Chains A and B, each alone.
Chain A
Amino acid sequence: MEQQAADRYQLNKELAQMLKGGVIMDVTTPEQARIAEEAGACAVMALERIPADIRAAGGVSRMSDPKMIKGIQQAVSIPVMAKCRIGHFVEAQILEAIEIDYIDESEVLSPADDIYHIDKTKFRVPFVCGARDLGEALRRINEGASMIRTKGEPGTGDVVQAVRHMRLMNAEIAKITAMREDELFNEAKELQVPYDLVLYVHQHGRLPVVNFAAGGVATPADAALMMQLGAEGVFVGSGIFKSGNPQKRAAAIVKAVTNFTDQEMLAALSEDLGEAMVGINEQEIELLMAERGR
């Protein structure tokens, strides 16, 4: 039984490996899902409202209607993800019941629990969680997350927080890699994570799961920036369907992630994409979603 659970976790980490080098797009309708698939999305995130609209609407934001998610599952052949609230393990049970491919325990929705995250080891479906730094990432992995993404600041079109989170995580990983082994015990204490995970980072110089960028990515240049900073793939939320020409922008972001170091190609991909999402600066917003869930 224990071995079965361990193999299931391994299979779930491996699905994230298959998504690498790809773009996961937020979609709210089957039609948007098809547009995303045709543009080259490696997975879609099904949700009723994209983060920019959640931000604008205010109020409590919850898991999407399972019927709406099923409509999207039927519309595309690529993996379908959906969000549940932080700590809301019953929403997660419901998503598992409709055989979602990945659950995002997400700070974009209103948290259901201000202390505890979901015990993700109790589930057979995989979870992706947001993290601002290495400690958060390893705590989520210890709870059973099989994929990590930066939190960024969703629904803003402002990439600054995703950059901050990715740089911070890289710096902390580099620090642990350079430590003496006898210093790792204290580091585990400081980060509030198990020693084994710190040892893994020390030995491998990376997280034990795939790490994507998310939050505020709006242009091919933003996506390539996150890839050059070490992201293994990119989530794009509001940036696509809040822009002037979603098809073209989505396809350009996909190609930018594949060829993220090719300046000439990035220049060509950035041309004539129509209006980007308007965006709001982090100083102009009252609600910092990234503060949710530590």
Chain B
Amino acid sequence: MRIAISAVQGAFIEHQQMLSSLGVECFELRQRADLHRSFDGLILPGGESTVQGKLLRELGMFDELQQLLRQGLPVLGTCAGLILLAQHISNDEQRYFATMPLTVRRNAYGRQLGSFSVTARCGSLEAVPMRFIRAPYIESAEAGVEILAEVGGKIVAARYQRQLGLAFHPELTGDSRLHQLFLSLVRGDSRTKEAVLA
């Protein structure tokens, strides 16, 4: 199994470290040529969604990744990554991959003074440490989306098919359970990128 991590901007090294600790091979996507390698899953890290969306497009990776996602490539999006996956962004005209049928709100808790941490249940996982950094939340989700976690009445984690979207940052904690959940989604169907495309 090999995971590709978008490395155009943001906290991608933290995801690499988490995967390495789990003994999973991963590599960085910085430009179009990096897509020539085969991979079984994708991670879209935290950072600034405006920057990442723009660079994924201008560095020639956006269309192919979007096609792969539409065809079922497993993906984990954290914070900015969730925004890239959302079909609608309520306070922004931009749309990116738009492969998760839900609506997110950017910077939903305000500026950095609104950043916070909590420990909460996520799906079947108890006491997951959650770091919210200028985070979005999910305002609404369409049928077929499984709500995994709510904090203060707002949805902060959801799964749609093999796409996992989190408003918070499991990669900043020592808790690898959500990465393991993502890897189980990847293992659920180990078709490689080529197989998905075919």
Contacts and interface: CB of A to CB of B under 8 A. Distances in A.
Interface of A: 7, 10-12, 14-15, 17-22, 37-38, 40-43, 73, 77-80, 96, 99-102, 124-126, 251, 254-255, 257-259, 262, 265
Interface string B56-93: 00110000000000000000000110000000000010
A37 B50 contact: yes
B180 to A, nearest CB: 22
Interface string B124-149: 00000001011000000000000000
11 contacts: A11-B115, A11-B117, A18-B46, A18-B134, A41-B51, A42-B51, A254-B55, A255-B55, A255-B58, A258-B7, A258-B59
A101 B51 contact: no
Contacts of A21: 7-10, 12, 47
Contacts of B79: 18
B64 to A, nearest CB: 17
Contacts of B47: 18-22, 42
Given A18-B10, A21-B8, A78-B50, A101 B134 contact: yes
B51 A22 contact: yes
Interface of B: 7-14, 30-31, 46-48, 50-51, 54-55, 58-59, 79-80, 92, 106-107, 110-113, 115-117, 131, 133-134, 169, 172
Nearest to A76: B50
A126 B110 CA distance: 15
B51 A259 contact: no
B115 A42 contact: no
A14 B111 contact: no
Contact of A259 (B14, B30, B134): B30
A22 B11 CA distance: 10
Contact of B8 (A17, A79, A258, A262): A258
B117 A258 contact: no
4 closest Cβ contacts across the A-B interface? A101-B112, A21-B9, A11-B115, A42-B48
B43 to A, nearest CB: 14
B193 to A, nearest CB: 22
Contact of B172 (A14, A38, A43, A124): A14
A262 B117 contact: no
A20 B10 contact: yes
Contact of A258 (B50, B55, B110, B113): B55
Contact of B112 (A22, A37, A79, A265): A79
Contacts of B55: 40, 254-255, 258
Given A11-B131, A14-B131, A258-B30, A124 B113 contact: yes
